[in-house]
Amino acid sequence: MHIKTLKLQNFRNYEDARFVLDPAVNLICGENGQGKTNLLEAAAACSTMRLFRTAQKKEGLRFGEDAAFICSEFEAQGRENTLELRLSRLRAMEIYKNGVRQKRQSDVQGLLKTVLFCPEDLMLVRAGAAARRRFLDTALCQLRPNYARYLEEYNRLHEHKTRILRDSEEKPSLLSMWEDFSLRMARIGAQIIRYRAYYCRRLLAAAAAVYSDIAPHEALSGVYRTVSSVSDPFASAQQLERELIDHVFRHKNAEIAAKSCLSGPHKDDLELLLDGRSASAFASQGQVRTCTLSLKLAERELFFEEDGEYPVLLLDDVLSELDRRRQDFVLNRISAGQVMITCCEDGISEKLRAGAAFHIKNGKIV
């Protein structure tokens, strides 16, 4: 799997640029603030349909512009595809696959698979549960189109129910819809929990193996945490649904008082453990980094297991944050598959056998 070309028009600080990428290593160099991360953001958007630095797609529009285009030509599973994302100030983003307008984001999510690794990820272990949920969801949405659909629907219901709870003080009649929304969220939530449980099991096994390659005397493990009434996240969807219903009905009054949805997989977490102890509480800075590194490389391995080809790896200035030993470890592991790697300094580029190098200045290839 690899991106052949990436064309950006009025996206972030790019007015009009076209990148012809190498199927192996692509080095994106430039000084700070020139557009290196913007390019990776565009590449990632072609697989996740999101901008990884913002929930507001309009922020991707070049200042003062009303429309932007990201167009990629890529090869996946032996097929050539083109994907065009049209961002607009006035309308929702439009997606075209091979020239045909797609109705839902979930129809194209994961057609191109990417794994992004940036310096903020190095704190994944210490960050709040939302960051780890995003990490799981980003991978699962690419791996399982049905999961992407369930998640889209769950998020829609969650947003709607939150509005009901928030506005219920002024308009108590809205609460008549609480039950219907809770039941629908439980039905879809049950599916989400099963997907996450299976994925976490595989991810943790793969991550533990990577971790022990870097630090053989320590053991990484983890636990997928979901709603407390769930006795077994691998149980049938019907059983999970019953357990979710039980939990949300027991928390009805608390939800109304808090004016927010307190029960459901939107609160899930992936707890990480080092030698059996909470990594977020007890791990050192270096151990935290090794944990994240292991999770990211494991994510990439799982994509490979699934498809027989590596996803496009987007490394945003992350190597400079790692010590030499960990840098070498990453570089050895990523010798196969396409990589887009940003850097400010030339030190890294000497270690990489880059097939293509792009020097970026103020949103232009120089």
Ligand X SMILES: Nc1ncnc2c1ncn2[C@@H]1O[C@H](COP(=O)(O)OP(=O)(O)OP(=O)(O)O)[C@@H](O)[C@H]1O
> Tokens 């793969």 map to which residue?
206
What residues from 147 to 166 belong to the interface with ligand X (CB under 6 A)?
Answer: none
CA neighbours closer than 13 Å in the CB half-sphere of residue 108: 25
Among 9, 21, 22, 35, binds ligand X (CB under 6 A): 35
Query: 337 — alpha (psi -120 to 50), left (phi > 0) or beta?
Result: left
Indicate the pairing of strand 356-361 with strand 25-29: parallel
Q: Let me know: does 113 contact 312? Beta carbons within 8 Å.
A: yes
- In 3-state terms, what secondary structure has residue 214? helix
* Pairing verdict, β 269-274 and 220-225: antiparallel
d(CA 123, CA 120): 6
Q: Does 37 bind ligand X (CB under 6 A)?
A: yes
By the rule CB under 6 A, 358 interacts with ligand X? no
Nearer to ligand X, 32 or 332 (CB): 32
Q: Mask 292-331, x = binds ligand X (CB under 6 A)?
A: -------------------------x--------------
Q: Please list every residue from 80 through 109 that binds ligand X, using CB under 6 A.
A: none
Shortest distance, position 133 Cβ to ligand X, whole Å: 25
Residue 67 found at the interface with ligand X (CB under 6 A): no
Instruction: Give yes or no for residue 12 binding ligand X (CB under 6 A).
Output: yes
252 assigned ligand-binding residue: no
37 appears as a binding residue in the annotation? yes
Out of 18, 33, 66, 166, the residue judged to bind ligand X by CB under 6 A: 33
Q: Which of 9, 26, 34, 287 binds ligand X (CB under 6 A)?
A: 34
Q: Alpha-carbon torsion 18, 24, 27, 28, what sign?
A: positive
306 DSSP assignment: H
33 assigned ligand-binding residue: yes
Q: Does 27 bind ligand X (CB under 6 A)?
A: no
CB 359 within 8 A of CB 247: no
36 is in an annotated binding site: yes
The DSSP element (H or E) to which 358 belongs, if any, is strand 356-361
**Chain positions contacting ligand X, by CB under 6 A:** 12-13, 30, 32-38, 59, 61-63, 317, 342, 344
Residues in binding site for ATP: 30-37
Residues in binding site: 30-37
